[in-house]
Chain A
Amino acid sequence: MANLQHIRRRIKSVKNIQKITNAMDMIARSRFNAAREALLSNVPYVAKTKEIMRRVMGQMRGQEYEHPFIKTRDELIADQQEGAGKFLFIVIASDKGLAGSFSSNVFKEAHDTIEYDGTSESSSLDSDDDDENFHKKNFDALKGIKPAGKRTPKQQRQMSATGGFARASGRRSGGGKSSGGTTSEAREYNDADYIEGVELITVGRKATTHFKQRGYNIIKSYHGISERPQYKYAKEITDLIMERFESGEIIDVTLIYNQFKSAISCAPDNVTLLPIVTDDYAKASANLKEEYIYEPDVVSILNDFLPRRIATRIYGAMLHSAASELSSRMNAMSNATDNAQELVGRLNLFYNKVRQAGITNEINEIVGGANALE
């Protein structure tokens, strides 16, 4: 028979947990309002930047402007043939847990994107955000390219890119490389080999620990800003990636974050920041015939506009992520509170049953004893 004291203790601890989850819910709720406010006031700016970007890039198409960040896909392929650089991913997650599947969703998206090997369907092709996500298209374009000379990180990546999340987490520290081509043998690849072509910038402690554990090369991480992002960090990241991009160390920058949809839903999203591939702006250019006047000139305008655009995008993503994190936490915590409530109810019922059983038992014993005396 269950011990009354045990049940009582259990009820108490569940109630305590409930208090904590309830408090976290309330904290998340109040912070969420601020985060949503910040996000909503940022959205028009980001949208307008994107609009301008689309118009300008649409016009750039087919014209020869020399700018390191703007390339046609052919140029991209040419660069890669020279033995080019790494892929950089910026992953924005949270500092703290207890936010449901918030972080793991981002990680899943990140692994999906990082390990994309050109086999999955390009579902993003027809979406409205076409010109924001061409990592996969870049990858597809570069897929068959054999760089002269040594194996580039890119190729190493491809060899093991068939691996999934589970495989990445189950990597072997000393694993010997086998040279097979089948999927089952691909598991044998040492992950370090495949990670080599990837660099990461992480925002949020969770993201850092997650990827560090898996041996990824994290070049920079930001902690303590996930709930309240600041523009200066976005600027810092922008400066860093631009510098590395210009020096040719990296050839593709993709941003992965949770996009805020509503207070109850968010979905991971990935955005290519660099290079800006003009081929993808074909749609926008179709209805644009007039030329822009640039003052003072195209290059200086772009030199100023593009970093601004990238920083804006990163900052926007941080705000999205913050709002998503807090809304996820809000939902997770209010669910936990509800569950605790239900559990307490059930435990109380059980407690009463056990208590009643005890009393009944005692009465039986007394009645039995009295009967025996007669």
Chain B
Amino acid sequence: MATILLEIATPDKGEVYAKEINMLICRSVCGELGILPKHARLMTELLPHAMRIKEGGGETQLFVSGGFMEVTPEKITILADAAEAPDDIDVERARAAYKRAEERLAKKDSDIDIDRAEAALARAKARLLVKGVPIG
């Protein structure tokens, strides 16, 4: 089966993933994308979500907190702010972040950065979803 190299790098952990995979299913700002080997060149922005990586018959999940994806026929490069395997996700922290972001958004103060709070909310939500933790 044809494979494509997937590389994921984050600013503070370096290269967190580098493996030949069969297929990557991820969510970009424009919707779900399935990337197979020999994909056309593509640049897009990713949303915070859990990507599905298919390799050698199995499927693994990997959380990315948004970032960039560049696809070339041989290689997928993802520049993520953070990338975690489901096992590494800190549920308590995500829950706390979720609450904090929600409170901040609920206040509707003019001095808060709405974009940032919304992004934090989305990140926390995606993290919790990966773990299957009920939200709210």
Contacts and interface: CB of A to CB of B under 8 A. Distances in A.
B10 A45 contact: yes
Contacts of B55: none
Contacts of A304: 45, 68
Contact of B44 (A48, A49, A291, A295): A295
Contacts of A65: none
A52 B9 CA distance: 13
B10 A290 contact: no
B2 interface: no
Nearest to A312: B11
B44 A301 contact: yes
A40 B15 CA distance: 10
Contacts of B42: 292-295
B39 to A, nearest CB: 9
Contacts of B79: 45, 48-49, 52, 308
A110 to B, nearest CB: 26
Contacts of A291: 41
B57 to A, nearest CB: 28
Given A290-B40, A293-B40, A296-B29, A52 B11 contact: no
Nearest to A305: B68
A41 B12 contact: yes
Nearest to A315: B11
A51 B77 contact: yes
B29 A295 contact: yes
Q: Tell me if A's interface is mostly helix, strand, loop or mixed.
A: helix
A288 to B, nearest CB: 9
B75 to A, nearest CB: 10
Contacts of B28: 295
A56 interface: yes
Interface in A290-337: 290-296, 300-301, 304-305, 308, 312, 315
Nearest to B29: A296
A312 B12 CA distance: 11
A45 B79 CA distance: 7
Contacts of A55: 70, 72
Contacts of A308: 68, 79
A293 B14 contact: no
A314 to B, nearest CB: 11
B133 interface: no
Contact of B14 (A45, A49, A300): A45
Contact of A294 (B11, B14, B44): B44
Interface in B39-83: 40-45, 68, 70, 72, 77, 79
A301 B43 contact: yes
Contact of B13 (A41, A48, A49, A305): A41
B30 interface: yes
29 contacts: A40-B14, A42-B12, A42-B14, A43-B14, A44-B15, A45-B9, A45-B79, A48-B77, A49-B79, A52-B43, A52-B68, A52-B70, A52-B77, A231-B11, A231-B12, A290-B40, A290-B41, A293-B40, A293-B42, A294-B42, A295-B28, A295-B44, A295-B45, A296-B44, A300-B45, A301-B43, A305-B43, A308-B68, A312-B11
